[in-house]
């Protein structure tokens, strides 16, 4: 199990470094998206790099969720012993249900944020 954790942590580090490089490249090497027409980095446009950055973010998020899943027993132990201050730890079935419910709640919070953002997006006025 420790070998799996090592390689997962290593992969998360590599993906995190890639995300940092992508963000820095988009921020400092390419002009703002409204001025980036015709600019490329390694043959890819700003929009293509933004899509790659989003894919990298999704890969990183998947890795983090997988990492937490592998350590879920430890997370439940810390929450019950250190935060709730109880001696009784939930059984494996309850831990699984709590984990799935937590993931569902987190995904709903992200979805609610996206839906809320829809109400505040405004299109640019047409050019004169």
pLDDT of residue 88: 83
pTM beyond 0.95, yes or no:
no
Average pLDDT of the residues in 4-21: 97
Reported as a single tens digit per residue, the pLDDT across 51-89 is: 999 999 999 999 999 999 999 988 988 888 888 888 887
For residue 30, give the DSSP letter.
S
How far from 101 is each of 84, 96, 111, 115, 127, CA to CA, in Å?
Answer: 18, 8, 15, 21, 48
- DSSP H helices, 25-45, are none
pLDDT of residue 13: 97
């Amino acid at each position: 199990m420790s070998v799996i954790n090592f390689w997962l942590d290593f992969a998360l580090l590599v993906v995190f470094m890639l995300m940092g490089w992508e963000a820095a490249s988009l921020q400092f090497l390419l002009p703002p998206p409204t001025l980036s027409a015709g600019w490329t980095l390694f043959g890819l446009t700003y929009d293509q790099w933004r899509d790659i950055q989003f894919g990298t973010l999704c890969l990183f998020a998947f890795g983090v969720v997988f990492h937490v899943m592998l350590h879920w027993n430890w997370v439940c132990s810390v929450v019950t012993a250190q935060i709730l201050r109880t001696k009784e730890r939930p059984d494996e079935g309850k831990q699984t249900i709590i984990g799935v419910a937590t993931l569902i709640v987190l995904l709903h919070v992200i979805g609610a944020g996206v839906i809320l953002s829809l109400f505040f997006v405004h299109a640019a006025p047409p050019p004169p």
